[in-house]
Chains A and B, each alone.
Chain A
């Protein structure tokens, strides 16, 4: 009885994350976003367009700032390339690059190209419901599977029970210290779905700094095929 109850519970937690994942990603999607790195006395902006299919394939085109405009990043399974049009060169990036900061921000490359999956790379457990800004939320604890390509020791997601949107995500290291907090807000209709359009990543050791991602446009289930994520297309997308 205890065993069955535990399994049903674990199943539910995973199902919640599956619904969350499906909602923000669809089978395939495209987006336009602005990333702002905020520090107490300065700001820097990066704008980009992105396309993805599952967690296996993604393509990102940098549209600003001027210095980096035109550069593109392609990820297929666990391989990643960077196209530098000014020198006509595709550079294969080492796997260690995945956990590095994305262009100086508080997000990692993995956050952007989503190599790890909140569904497949973690074991899930459900804790007691919580309340965020008056909204009742599921509290789901994600513990990475042994070989998962993630740096975290634990990730705690707070998910709106009605709309299945993540509202708050806390990232812990292997010693259980809080490293980053992500706050998701500005829930709007975009691409036919009501989703958070503003993501704010705040490092725990320096709460005065943050990186904000604002989505200007998103579309879901747009029928992208695996063949879209090619070297040829990385050089051609605009």
Chain B
């Protein structure tokens, strides 16, 4: 049934986009095709995976007030994870959503094809009002690396291949109260309090600062938050904080009476294209030096929440990037966890091979004490080579 619904949505939209190709303002279509080889070394073993990843974004603008957006994410996995990790198909097929719009069309010992719709929503605008209903991304975060205000659909910084990040099945009503100010109210559909999030955000612009204030109920917690984006001299200065107080016990809040998450960041870009970003995250209930600190990496797409963006009490992030030529840029991100010996190194190179063809080479290296034998070293090393064709 689910597969049929997904295929039907796809057929309708491909038909609509071909049928109306002459009138390009009514229907738009874009996307990409990526192929990524990943080489992961942990537990003294090399795990190789090949991921073909296709994205199809359809937008339909029937009139000036209404628009409809449907976006598909199709992934074909081949390699060691598919064949050797039990239930890998379940991990790939799991998500945070009310409606299950994800299906494994091929699920064999050697190949796994997952198709999901991660955006399916209608949007209505009139004057200062905007209403969005359906699966959408509600992105209330401000910082680059860590977003304590991302209550609806948190993502892991380590999951770099999912640029669009997950959506939420939700209703969102926004009223723009000025050129850079608004009030938004959003509620995420859920069967129980474990997953329900309902919140409001008031956003204003004053003294060259964007400021936001949030309140709501998030997965059983009374949640309060604030964030800002402004400047210190020529540098960007951003921050966001959230406080969660359990009011009903749920799957996510059993371990605390109150959880404070705060992150600030400063960024600067030099005329020669060197860009620097530094950020610090504080999680009041996390341990300074948890064992299995990195264990959440990519392993829990089904129940990842903003509370899990770092398992360490202190996390600090530094990123530098530089454009060597307009075709070739490089970056290095480092995350250090003060109070522990763990750290993360993430070099990345991007080459534009042709118009619309990009090549990325990315490394992710995790260093920590081995939780089993106490030896210090690299607990996991991964390398990724990705070719992307955008259309």
Residues on the A chain within 8 Å of B176, using CB = 230-232
Q: Assess A87 versus B163: contact at CB under 8 Å? Given A66-B390, A67-B390, A232-B128.
A: yes
Q: Assess A232 versus B130: contact at CB under 8 Å? Given A87-B163, A100-B270.
A: yes
> CA separation between A88 and B153, bound complex, in Å?
12
Residues on the B chain within 8 Å of A151, using CB = 271
Q: Is the CB of B165 within 8 A of A87?
A: yes
Q: Contact flags (1/0) for B220-239 with A, using CB distance below 8 Å?
A: 00000000011101111010
Q: Is the CB of A44 within 8 A of B352?
A: yes
> How many chain A residues have a CB neighbour from B under 8 Å?
41
Q: Assess A100 versus B390: contact at CB under 8 Å? Given A93-B236, A236-B125.
A: no
Q: Contact flags (1/0) for A4-48 with B, using CB distance below 8 Å?
A: 000000000000000000000000000000000101001111000
> Which among A79, A87, A92, A94 is the interface contact of B269 at CB below 8 angstroms?
A94
B residues 153-193 touching A (CB-CB < 8 Å): 163-165, 176, 178-180, 182
Q: Contact flags (1/0) for A206-238 with B, using CB distance below 8 Å?
A: 000000000000000000001101111000101
B30 within 8 Å of A (CB atoms): yes
> Which among A78, A86, A226, A231 is the interface contact of B164 at CB below 8 angstroms?
A86
> CA separation between A76 and B355, bound complex, in Å?
31
Q: Assess A67 versus B358: contact at CB under 8 Å? Given A86-B164, A89-B141, A230-B176.
A: yes
Q: Is the CB of A100 within 8 A of B269?
A: yes
Q: Looking across the interface, which residue of chain B has its beta carbon closest to that of A86? A: B164
Q: Is the CB of A44 within 8 A of B273?
A: no
Q: How far is the CB of A199 from chain B (nearest CB, A)?
A: 18
A146 within 8 Å of B (CB atoms): no
Q: Is the CB of A94 within 8 A of B182?
A: no
B52 within 8 Å of A (CB atoms): no
Classify the interface of chain A: helix, strand, loop or mixed: mixed
Q: Looking across the interface, which residue of chain B has its beta carbon closest to that of A108? A: B271
> CA separation between A145 and B28, bound complex, in Å?
46
> CA separation between A99 and B142, bound complex, in Å?
23
Q: Looking across the interface, which residue of chain B has its beta carbon closest to that of A238? A: B25
Residues on the B chain within 8 Å of A86, using CB = 163-164
Q: Looking across the interface, which residue of chain B has its beta carbon closest to that of A77? A: B208
Residues on the B chain within 8 Å of A39, using CB = 325-326
Q: Is the CB of A78 within 8 A of B208?
A: yes
26 interchain pairs, CB-CB under 8 A: A37-B326, A39-B326, A42-B327, A66-B32, A67-B32, A67-B356, A79-B205, A79-B208, A87-B139, A89-B139, A92-B210, A92-B230, A92-B236, A94-B235, A94-B236, A95-B231, A95-B236, A100-B269, A100-B273, A104-B327, A151-B271, A226-B179, A227-B179, A232-B176, A232-B182, A238-B61
Interface residues, chain B, with chain A CB atoms under 8 Å away: 25, 30, 32, 61, 125, 128, 130, 136-139, 141-142, 163-165, 176, 178-180, 182, 205, 208, 210, 229-231, 233-236, 238, 267-271, 273, 323, 325-327, 352, 355-356, 358, 388, 390-391
Interface residues, chain A, with chain B CB atoms under 8 Å away: 37, 39, 42-45, 65-67, 69-70, 76, 78-79, 81, 86-89, 91-97, 99-101, 104-105, 108, 151, 226-227, 229-232, 236, 238
Known A87-B139, A95-B236, A105-B326; 19 more pairs at CB < 8 Å: A44-B352, A66-B30, A76-B179, A78-B208, A86-B164, A87-B164, A88-B138, A92-B210, A95-B231, A96-B268, A99-B271, A100-B269, A101-B273, A104-B326, A227-B179, A230-B178, A231-B176, A232-B179, A236-B125
